[in-house]
Structure 1
Amino acid sequence: MSRLREMIKELCPDGVEYRKLEEIAHYVRERIKVSEIDVCNYVGVEHLRQNTEGREMSVTLPDADFVIAFRSEDILIGNIRPYLKKAWLADCNGGTNGDVLTIRIDDKMSISPQYLFYILSSERFFSYDMKYAKGAKMPRGDKKAVMNYEIPVPPLPIQNEIVKMLDNFTELTAELTAELTAELLLRKKQYNFYRDSLLNFDQNDRDVEWKTIGMIGDVTKLAGFEFTKYVTYVETGKIIALRGLNVKGKLDLTDVKYLDGSDLTKLERSKLYKDDILFTYVGTVGQVALVDCDDKYYLAPNVARIRFDKAVVDPAYIRYFFQTEYFMRKQIEKHAKTSSMKNLTMENIRKFQVPIPPLEVQQKIVSTLDRFDALCNDLTQGLPAEIAARKKQYEYYRDKLLTFRRKGA
């Protein structure tokens, strides 16, 4: 960092010139025949990974005669849903589709492709891109606004030094993240084994009763037409319709549908309460979650709601049991039907058998697994938080390196 400070002091003591992207680069409009590329060098928007984590290999080519051509060191940016932060510095020649902005530098003697890529993969750029994006459900970046984005252009030696520093930091961060991810996977395997061992009850254990869900809980679903007839979705709000994609072992609220809460009386039957269990019964069958509060959630179609007598059953205990290998393998596979899509009926769910030990035993198991689960999965502690912290540290370091005093300011 001290060397970079010395270079800035020597080469641009009065600040750095800022230029619009359109002054240093352009959108590629050149076309190439699909017959001239293959799956190795076709990169559509669907092949760009989120959070600027590179690209995935394609398995098919588009059904078209021509695609947009790109060259090595062009920068490809996903133009659909800019908040996904898709960007890639091409390492080969190839073709892409119209949902990707292909940016080519006009003069590489004035700006380095690697340096520009770091600029266009920063939080600052994607926040700007989203600010001018158009569309609600599927926002698209504004091509003209992107070209108006202002970029600091220090002398090339400074750009190269920054690229060198960020490359090193990226490599170290990737290595550490890989180590932490491997550790996390190991912890999760240990957790799954420990959870399944705790919940593996002998059928002959006198202190444990095996009962069907129908005997100890109320299972219901909501017909699709019954829900959509009375629902108006809004962009923001406090009332949420929980769908199958929100049920992932616990509630996942990264992509939710808000309801117009002005009149919910006709949806009273779909109202959810604290400790209700949600269970997916179509498609990805067997995902569960526990409702964490009253007066916030309503049940959307394709999710079953199970409500227990809490004097007999701790719902959190059932949630953990539903996640065991025994339950997934023995119960769901036994009852699930497959037509065009894997599914369960409410009657199937009522037939599920679960071991019911004394309530105090259930609560002790829940307390133990809650602590272990937090270590493995909770983003506020444990290894996932460490991984997230490393990524934030890198983003801060990158944005700091790419911030310059404007010349003449």
Structure 2
Amino acid sequence: MAKNKKFEISLEEKLEKALVPVEEQPYKIPDNWVWTRLGGVIDIFRGLSYTKNDEVGDGYLVLRGNNLTDNGLAFLENVYVNEKVAEKGIKVKKDDIVLVASTGSSKVIGRACVAKEDYEKTTIGAFLLLCRPKENIAKNWVHYIFKTLRYRLYISEQAKGTNIKNIKNEYLENFYFPLPSLNEQKRIVEKLDFLFDKTKRAKEIIEEIKIDIENRKISILDRAFKGILTSKWRNENKTSDVKELLKFINDEKIKKWEEDCLQAEKNGNKKPKRPIIKEVEDMIVPVEEQPYKLPDNWIWVRLGEIINIFRGLSYTKNDEVENGYLVLRGNNLTDSGLAFLENIYVDEKVAKKGIEVKKDDIVLVASTGSSKVIGRSCVVEKDYEKTTIGAFLLLCRPKENIVKKWIHYIFKTLRYRLYISEQAKGTNIKNIKNEYLENFTIPLPSLEEQQEIVRILDEVLENENKVKELLELEERIDMLEKSILNKAFKGELGTKNSSDEPAIELLKKIL
């Protein structure tokens, strides 16, 4: 008898394999529902691997992580490959569910979007998975499973990793969920669609307000960095020569070098190399490279002249400890500032190879798959003991006699975001090199005017900063949606019908 011959197992054996034992069931469900595993009701397809050489100007669209948003599929920064390569992948069809299977973000891993139509010449990339519901499963039923808190927590637990998190097929196949009859599925989906249309509209209104606020912030920052906000102040106040500021920075470089030389001599070490000191005029950006005209007592310089840049720490899973030095990562940087969630710690010996985070440092995301997140920055509001940054981050430390928050506001400008978006290109992962920041041109006023501009921006933008309140409202809507889904998958939405056939009969048809 041939060794590779496959034997068809009986329906009873299939049911035994598909059904979840009572002792493993998370909670009680209606009597005519069953607990089963997701692998029994969906087919799973891995994404297509391809190289830069396979890309073409127009061909088969390859969906990637940035095409999947919380609001559905988005077709931005599209990548196309030739037909020969695309045929090795899976074609996206209506009601397919595409999800993020590999990413550095705990928030994004497992994110799922439903295909609302057949997409011609469209496949999925290597960092995605496609789930196709089998026959006798209601449209959108599986998609709502992927929106539940149980699924999100399960994937977060399963898809662990220091930097990159991955979903294996078996993670999805083994996830168990409650299955009602087909008619009950349809009724639940209809009610969920109705309720989620309401919450979606509420979120859209919030988003419109947030965009309006953001546009006003952009306008205010633009006026600040053109000297318009302080034009009257400038006429009424005497300021120091900004070129003296650059001279002071040079003097501080030499002073620091001399101190390091004395310390090296004291320790019996080799003296450090003398720093390169430019003439002040050479630190000013040539006229032909200046983006726009500035007030007479302002100058254009490159960001590298007024900050020091430090790369993040590389470490492995074996370096992690339960309590040691905190390593800031991409998910610690939010639009609202530093957040301390899903913290990672390494031992002191490893941490000492990195840079310790200090008050007024600016930490930014230097490597990510998200165009929206790349370059995101947060100012360090206080000294954090035993804290460093991970390999996907950069730390910018303003030099002496530069107002620290002035630099932070530079990273909030539209000019900076557009510049980083242009520089940090990449098919899947986008990276910021040190020279991108060093070469970015910025307008520099005197120290006194920097202080005045920061004072005005702090005051004006605080009045504009209603976003936190809107985020809290969004969180309440998210909690409402989770509560609705929780009730739906417990059979508590008021959609039950006693005349429905038991779900076990549906499962037999599917298997």
2:308 to 201, 221, 232: 221
Partner deviation per Cα, 1:335-387 (whole Å, 9 max, x = no partner)? x9xxx9793787x89996224448995785365146235423xxxx3223323
Q: Are residues 1:27 and 2:44 paired?
A: yes
Q: Are residues 1:201 and 2:201 paired?
A: no
The structural deviation recorded for 1:177 is 1.9
Secondary structure of 1:18's partner? strand
The structural deviation recorded for 1:308 is 4.3
Determine the C-alpha separation between the residues in 2 that align with 1:180 and 1:166: 21
Determine the C-alpha separation between the residues in 2 that align with 1:249 and 1:13: 43
Secondary structure of 2:81's partner? coil
Q: Match for 1:89: what amino acid?
A: V
Partner of 1:67 in structure 2?
89
Comparing 68-77 with 348-357, greater Cα deviation is found at: 348-357
Q: Are residues 1:188 and 2:208 paired?
A: no
Q: Kindly tell me: are residues 304 and 171 of structure 1, through their superposed partners in 2, closer, same or farther at Cα, counting changes over 3 Å?
A: same
User: How do 1:397-408 and structure 2 match up within 5 A?
Assistant: 397-404=484-491
Q: Are residues 1:304 and 2:396 paired?
A: yes
Partner of 1:353 in structure 2?
444
The structural deviation recorded for 1:296 is 4.5
Identity of matched residues, %: 16
The structural deviation recorded for 1:118 is 0.9
Q: Kindly tell me: are residues 248 and 343 of structure 1, through their superposed partners in 2, closer, same or farther at Cα, counting changes over 3 Å?
A: farther
Determine the C-alpha separation between the residues in 2 that align with 1:263 and 1:185: 45
User: How do 1:5-84 and structure 2 match up within 5 A?
Assistant: 14=31, 16-27=33-44, 42-46=61-65, 48-51=67-70, 53-56=72-75, 58-61=78-81, 63=85, 65-81=87-103, 83-84=107-108
Q: Are residues 1:371 and 2:462 paired?
A: yes
Partner deviation per Cα, 1:143-181 (whole Å, 9 max, x = no partner)? 224222222222333222221122122222222222221
> Could you state the TM-score of these two structures normalised by the residue count of structure 2?
0.56
Partner of 1:6 in structure 2?
none
Q: Are residues 1:273 and 2:358 paired?
A: yes
8 Å contact kept, 2:60–2:81: no
8 Å contact kept, 2:36–2:179: yes
Q: Match for 1:22: what amino acid?
A: G
8 Å contact kept, 1:27–1:104: yes
Partner deviation per Cα, 1:257-314 (whole Å, 9 max, x = no partner)? 956342489669x4342234568999x99976432121254478854311546xxx76
Determine the C-alpha separation between the residues in 2 that align with 1:124 and 1:21: 13
Determine the C-alpha separation between the residues in 2 that align with 1:392 and 1:369: 32
Comparing 357-366 with 162-171, greater Cα deviation is found at: 357-366
Q: Kindly tell me: are residues 112 and 341 of structure 1, through their superposed partners in 2, closer, same or farther at Cα, counting changes over 3 Å?
A: same
How many correspondences in the alignment? 367
Partner of 2:379 in structure 1?
290
Partner deviation per Cα, 1:382-406 (whole Å, 9 max, x = no partner)? 223323332332233223222248x
> Could you state the TM-score of these two structures normalised by the residue count of structure 1?
0.67
Partner of 1:165 in structure 2?
191
8 Å contact kept, 1:278–1:306: no
Partner of 2:297 in structure 1?
none
Determine the C-alpha separation between the residues in 1 that align with 2:39 and 2:440: 59
8 Å contact kept, 2:362–2:408: yes
8 Å contact kept, 2:230–2:452: no
Secondary structure of 1:158's partner? helix
Partner of 2:23 in structure 1?
none
The structural deviation recorded for 1:104 is 3.3
Determine the C-alpha separation between the residues in 1 that align with 2:406 and 2:205: 32
Q: What's the C-alpha RMSD, in Å, of the aligned pairs?
A: 5.0
Secondary structure of 1:293's partner? coil
Q: Kindly tell me: are residues 236 and 48 of structure 1, through their superposed partners in 2, closer, same or farther at Cα, counting changes over 3 Å?
A: farther
User: How do 1:96-245 and structure 2 match up within 5 A?
Assistant: 96-97=124-125, 99-108=127-136, 111-133=137-159, 135-195=161-221, 200-202=229-231, 204-209=235-240, 211=242, 214=246, 221=308, 234=320, 239-240=325-326
Q: Are residues 1:343 and 2:396 paired?
A: no
Determine the C-alpha separation between the residues in 1 that align with 2:413 and 2:39: 55
Q: Kindly tell me: are residues 151 and 214 of structure 1, through their superposed partners in 2, closer, same or farther at Cα, counting changes over 3 Å?
A: same
Determine the C-alpha separation between the residues in 1 that align with 2:440 and 2:200: 43
Determine the C-alpha separation between the residues in 2 that align with 1:391 and 1:180: 13
Decide which structure has the larger Cα Rg and report it.
2
Q: Kindly tell me: are residues 86 and 368 of structure 1, through their superposed partners in 2, closer, same or farther at Cα, counting changes over 3 Å?
A: same
Partner of 2:255 in structure 1?
none
Secondary structure of 1:68's partner? coil
Partner of 1:396 in structure 2?
483
Q: Kindly tell me: are residues 235 and 96 of structure 1, through their superposed partners in 2, closer, same or farther at Cα, counting changes over 3 Å?
A: farther
8 Å contact kept, 2:398–2:407: no
